[in-house]
Structure 1
Amino acid sequence: MKLLFRNKYFWLLLLVCSFTLLPFLGLSDFHTKGEPREAIVSYTMLASDNWVLPTNMGGETAYKPPFFHWCVAVVSNVYGAVTEATSRIPSAVALIIMTMATFVFFAKRKGNKIGMITALTAFTSFELHRAGANCRVDMVLTMLTVCAIYDLMRWYEHNMKGVPWIAIVLMGLGTMTKGPVGSIIPCMVMGIFMLMRKVNFFRAFFTLVAFGLLSLLIYGAWFYAAYRQGGQSFLDLMYEENIGRMTNTMNYDSCVNPWPYNFLTVFTGYLPWILLLITTLFFVHWNFKKRINLKSIWSRMLSMDNIDLYSLIAIVSIFVFYCIPQSKRSVYLMPIYPFLAYFIAKLLVWLSDRQQKPLRIYGGILSVLSTLLFVVFVLIKSGIAPLTLLGGHGKHAITNIATMQAFANIGSWWQYVLIFFTTIIGFAWWRYQKRHNGDKLVYGIIVLTFALYLSVDGVYTPAALNVKSQRAVAGCIDRIAPESEGKIYEYIDYAIRTPGDKPHFFELNYYLNNRVHNFYKEKPQSGFLVITHSDYEMCVDGFKKQGYKFKFIKNWAEFDMDLYQFNK
């Protein structure tokens, strides 16, 4: 441990990751249903002092165990409010912790160079970087899962003596983040590895089952407490989310995709590094006449050193595991990303020693991209590019024009600094790659990648995403319909008919400080109603038969949202 804290690479990595990620967490407003849905759970925890199974104003309870929401609530309580930044800090810290753990794990076993490149490659993969700046449970779960896998290898290397309490605690927190999958995956990876290293089946099986059961103790305690509050509806929800999702017996469809979808998500999720792999393919000698010999492949796998085999098992087993359920999302596969980064790091080192042309081409692609971003920014800022450049019709045209206007309005001095820094690094690449070879080419590419992320995270992404947010709509509703004049209700017809993951106006509810109630459940006498135009046209006659009278107040066409005042 003392040697670790004396390692200059460790502190450099921590500084770079923190500086690249943390300053920009609060720049983007919530613009999807996922982030505000999680944030409002933490808001409700603090408001109601219910840390087991809080229920928001609309009657919604969390679909996942509460560890992530505890983290958001604790950070937000220190700050004084649940904000976009405070709700994203747990994910950002989780990404940084996992990056540091990745460096430590591989540097200890493969050297500082491999450890550093592996950690930086994982950190700059699109999927992990995006998840690290989101208020969702997935990045925290990924960190806990990956770190548990690392610690189980430490336990194996110590001749499987004692109990890996760190891994057990990490798995326990993983189950408290998203259910038993937080324990299943680390045990599965280590179990397959132990069997391939010819550990007795019964020893491997019962040992890992014991570790898994120990990790479920805290989850079991929370489960009982939550059942005491939620009763049968809580049990039904947990069955759907855990058993039903894995056995394809859910009462509703949730992110249903065929198994090839997982290949697509990894392909896009590992941008920009996937471009390097594609470039390298053109410089590899392929022998298509050679037959595939499965026995030879198996023998080569068994002859791998422990870290190579363990990393390969983690990639393959987790990938296959998430091909089983119908529900598939790109974030499910994030635990394989650090292990993919290890093999990419080995490829980068090999290329730097033997075949540098793919590195130079790939660096050139990133350099051109940084230049194009600058050119497009100048064209928009100067007014040469018309606001209608992105095209579209109806609400899409409104959003696209607003996006162009947002780019044109970029004007903070530090944003200009980021833009020019990225552009300068991009131009400098052409001179740099002519003067340097070997490892310096790899580190030059990594610097260029980080420069791109700085401008994308700090300038372009917030401008593009904030126009999609309902924050301004919520502010307008709050002025038109203050709390003193009545409660705000939502009505979504599909939410009444669907048995499972019900849609709500999550963004609106967050920015209205959890003021949005459920019209269908509460059947109020008066107040304000938020409803889509199509739902109003379909349901207004039925409402009037119940004695309701409506007064139209305002419409937001870009969000297909109407506001009415009603009484009965």
Structure 2
Amino acid sequence: MSHAHPLWLRDARWELLLFGVFALLLLGLGIGLRDPWPSDEPRFALVARLMVEHGQWLFPHRGHELYPDKPPVFMWLQALAYMITGQWRVAFLLPSLAAALTVLALVYDLARRLWNHRSALLAAATLLLTIHFTYQMRNAQIDPLLLGWITLANYGLLRHLLLGPSWRWFAAGCFFAGVGVATKGVGVLALLMLIPYVVARRNHWQPLALPNGGWRWAGGLALFLLPILGWLLPMLLVAHADGDPQHAAYVQNILFGQTVHRYATPPGHIHSPFYFLGIVVVDWLPLSLLLPWALPAWWRRLKRRDARFLLPLGWIVLLLLFFSFSPGKRDVYILPALPMAALALAPLLPGLLRRRGVRLAVFALTLLLAGTMSVAAALAIHRHPAWAGKIEQGLDPQIWWVLLSTGAAGLVVVAFTRVRRAPLGWLLFGGVLWGLYGLWGYPMLNGDRSARNVMLHARAIAGPDATIGLLAWKEQNLLMAQGPVTEFGFLKPWPQQYAEAIAWQRQDPARRWIFSLDDAMGQCVDRHRAIHVGHANRREWWLFKADAVIAGCTPSLAENAADDTDN
């Protein structure tokens, strides 16, 4: 490192340190200033909290029901982070932050070993400032953690296949691919890296390690199974030993319903086979702006049989094909391809960023986003058109000032950097955007997005000693609930929840309230006697006692419009 040619400063080590601090701030500003937000964050945080409270580590729960949709590794790490920090507002975001910083470090280190410090630092910076990466890695979902495991697996495999032979790194790569499977089944896709390697080896591509030793290949692949069995065997043994039919159903669902069945016949997010092309073009900005220049350059290097490009690019193609064949698609499915795309771009970046066409494209992107934010916010503040009213429903109208400040700062950056220093302009604009969003936007949006405000209001209405029953609730309602609460199941049909809630309330009508989604009450609650608690997550919530219940009425099945997706 001491002999590396720096990119900007006099010492490459100081450049790396400065980049690390910038990455930490860009990804971490705002941690501790908000609670989990839908759609997925409250679900995982609730499961993790219940693990800590009740010690159910092998069979996660959402309320009193089992939660079989995902393996528990991500929730385990959130629970561990809570045990270390003692603060859920901090703990629930730490696994994603750790994964993001790890991915950046791995991309830098691998690109440095394959090329040089300059290319590596630009590759890591390009990845960090790509919208899809920054946005997703600031969220507490499983996919950022999965990205971390898959990138660790890819790193280990590439250290062995391109820079080896190194059987320890091969074993590490296989092991982390297995951890990825135990986190979310598709972690096995990291091993697809072996397919372009076989192609390169048969056709004598260079540079390429040519390790022999069949037993070592088999031993490394055996390590792939180790973390999977470390989770799977205790779960299967406990489920078999206790004979609980709910545990048996959980095992069946987690092993088959959430893997093969979900891939072949997904319940939602149905898109065309070309869906991911749009994600690459839009969500991968500004990295995608480089593709018109990068694609021909990659093709020239592939024709020279350069394995440093074939392996990461071939793996990206295989990943895209795998997810394109399934009818169900989400943008996060191809998130693991981003680090490999940045790695393949690394040696091209010093030259690409000097091209006027590239700088002009990045300048136009920064100007467009900053200008759009400024104009939209100014119109919302001074004219307040209908679209602004719909957007800010339930939100603090001051959010427009956050948007205006961000846009105005972006315009100042554009005026300062201009086309000549457009990449620096995007970096500065990204710092302002995510910094203001975390430090100013998080506290402002948190009350509505987390459901904290409605749950505080519900407790203020019911009083400190009353018990609140949750009807047609979402995970954020139980997570943010204050004081004594009960619930009647999450997946049960609303009419069944309603019937159980009313029967429960009749047992102690003076001290029991029901907190309900508006649609779940149907025509069976007199809203003149009920209390409107508030609006949160695009929903209306009510609180009522037994005197508001219309006797003999049950909401019809047609009114059970349960939706397991959130905003």
Deviation at 1:328, TM superposition (A): 1.3
Structure 1 vs Structure 2: percent identity of aligned residues?
17
Instruction: Find out whether 1:190 has 2:175 as its counterpart.
Output: no
Name the Cα RMSD after superposition.
3.9
> Which of 470, 477, 487 is 1:517 aligned to?
487
* Counterpart code for 1:525: W
> Which of 148, 153, 157 is 1:148 aligned to?
153
Whole-angstrom CA distance in 1 between matches of 2:168 and 2:80: 33
Deviation at 1:30, TM superposition (A): 3.7
Could you say which residue in structure 2 is the equivalent of 1:244?
261
> Which of 463, 469, 474 is 1:505 aligned to?
474
Instruction: Find out whether 1:479 has 2:485 as its counterpart.
Output: no
Structure 1: 5+ residue stretches without partners: 287-295, 435-439, 492-503
Task: Say whether the 8 Å CA contact 2:103–2:151 is kept in structure 1.
Answer: yes
Whole-angstrom CA distance in 2 between matches of 1:207 and 1:94: 27
Indicate the larger mover: 469-478 or 94-103. 469-478
- SS of 2:144's partner is helix
Whole-angstrom CA distance in 2 between matches of 1:307 and 1:68: 32
> Structure 1, residues 290-342: CA drift from partner, whole Å, max 9, x if none?
xxxxxx97x97464322211111121011111122222111111110012223
- SS of 2:471's partner is strand
Task: Say whether the 8 Å CA contact 1:489–1:517 is kept in structure 2.
Answer: yes
Could you say which residue in structure 1 is the equivalent of 2:522?
537
> Which of 222, 231, 237 is 1:210 aligned to?
222
Deviation at 1:44, TM superposition (A): 0.5
- SS of 1:554's partner is strand
Deviation at 1:262, TM superposition (A): 1.8
* Counterpart code for 1:259: P
Could you say which residue in structure 2 is the equivalent of 1:324?
325
- Cα gap change, 1:303 to 1:136, in 2 (>3 Å): same
Whole-angstrom CA distance in 1 between matches of 2:196 and 2:117: 28
- SS of 1:98's partner is helix
Whole-angstrom CA distance in 1 between matches of 2:235 and 2:326: 23
- Cα gap change, 1:134 to 1:335, in 2 (>3 Å): same
Instruction: Find out whether 1:488 has 2:485 as its counterpart.
Output: no
Instruction: Find out whether 1:130 has 2:135 as its counterpart.
Output: yes
* Counterpart code for 2:392: N
Indicate the larger mover: 185-194 or 143-152. 185-194
> Which of 379, 382, 386 is 2:383 aligned to?
386
Task: Say whether the 8 Å CA contact 1:144–1:173 is kept in structure 2.
Answer: yes
Could you say which residue in structure 2 is the equivalent of 1:427?
415
Give matches, 1:170-189, under 5 Å. 170-179=176-185, 181-182=186-187, 184-189=188-193
Could you say which residue in structure 1 is the equivalent of 2:269?
255
Indicate the larger mover: 254-263 or 519-528. 519-528
Whole-angstrom CA distance in 1 between matches of 2:360 and 2:283: 22
Task: Say whether the 8 Å CA contact 1:276–1:362 is kept in structure 2.
Answer: no
Could you say which residue in structure 1 is the equivalent of 2:236?
224
Tell me the TM-score normalised to structure 1 length: 0.78
Whole-angstrom CA distance in 1 between matches of 2:166 and 2:192: 16
Could you say which residue in structure 2 is the equivalent of 1:19?
25
Whole-angstrom CA distance in 2 between matches of 1:310 and 1:94: 23
Tell me the TM-score normalised to structure 2 length: 0.78
- Cα gap change, 1:162 to 1:425, in 2 (>3 Å): closer
Structure 2: 5+ residue stretches without partners: 5-10, 203-209, 490-495, 506-511, 552-567
> Structure 1, residues 134-190: CA drift from partner, whole Å, max 9, x if none?
1111100111101111111112232364673322332232222113x22x2111222
Deviation at 1:241, TM superposition (A): 0.5
Deviation at 1:371, TM superposition (A): 5.4
> Structure 1, residues 368-415: CA drift from partner, whole Å, max 9, x if none?
5435545665676xx5x13446346xxxx3x5255471226769xxx9
Task: Say whether the 8 Å CA contact 2:374–2:407 is kept in structure 1.
Answer: yes
Indicate the larger mover: 316-325 or 479-488. 479-488
Whole-angstrom CA distance in 2 between matches of 1:328 and 1:132: 19
Give matches, 1:420-459, under 5 Å. 422-430=410-418, 433-434=419-420, 442-443=423-424, 445-459=426-440
Whole-angstrom CA distance in 1 between matches of 2:368 and 2:272: 35
Task: Say whether the 8 Å CA contact 1:103–1:115 is kept in structure 2.
Answer: yes
Whole-angstrom CA distance in 1 between matches of 2:94 and 2:440: 19
Whole-angstrom CA distance in 2 between matches of 1:337 and 1:285: 19
> Structure 1, residues 74-125: CA drift from partner, whole Å, max 9, x if none?
2222332322x32112111211111111101111111111111111111121
> Which of 34, 38, 45 is 1:32 aligned to?
38
Instruction: Find out whether 1:233 has 2:260 as its counterpart.
Output: no
Could you say which residue in structure 2 is the equivalent of 1:337?
338
> Which of 35, 56, 60 is 1:54 aligned to?
60
Instruction: Find out whether 1:166 has 2:158 as its counterpart.
Output: no
Could you say which residue in structure 2 is the equivalent of 1:272?
286
Whole-angstrom CA distance in 2 between matches of 1:218 and 1:2: 42
Whole-angstrom CA distance in 1 between matches of 2:220 and 2:175: 14
- Cα gap change, 1:112 to 1:442, in 2 (>3 Å): farther
Deviation at 1:25, TM superposition (A): 2.7
Task: Say whether the 8 Å CA contact 1:531–1:562 is kept in structure 2.
Answer: yes
Whole-angstrom CA distance in 1 between matches of 2:129 and 2:401: 28
- SS of 1:322's partner is helix
Whole-angstrom CA distance in 2 between matches of 1:331 and 1:222: 30
Whole-angstrom CA distance in 1 between matches of 2:474 and 2:47: 14
Task: Say whether the 8 Å CA contact 2:43–2:62 is kept in structure 1.
Answer: no
Deviation at 1:231, TM superposition (A): 2.3
Whole-angstrom CA distance in 2 between matches of 1:123 and 1:226: 42
* Counterpart code for 1:508: N
* Counterpart code for 1:219: W
Whole-angstrom CA distance in 2 between matches of 1:457 and 1:275: 26
Task: Say whether the 8 Å CA contact 1:103–1:118 is kept in structure 2.
Answer: yes
- SS of 1:488's partner is strand
Instruction: Find out whether 1:400 has 2:384 as its counterpart.
Output: no
- Cα gap change, 1:62 to 1:18, in 2 (>3 Å): farther
Task: Say whether the 8 Å CA contact 1:10–1:103 is kept in structure 2.
Answer: no
* Counterpart code for 2:252: D
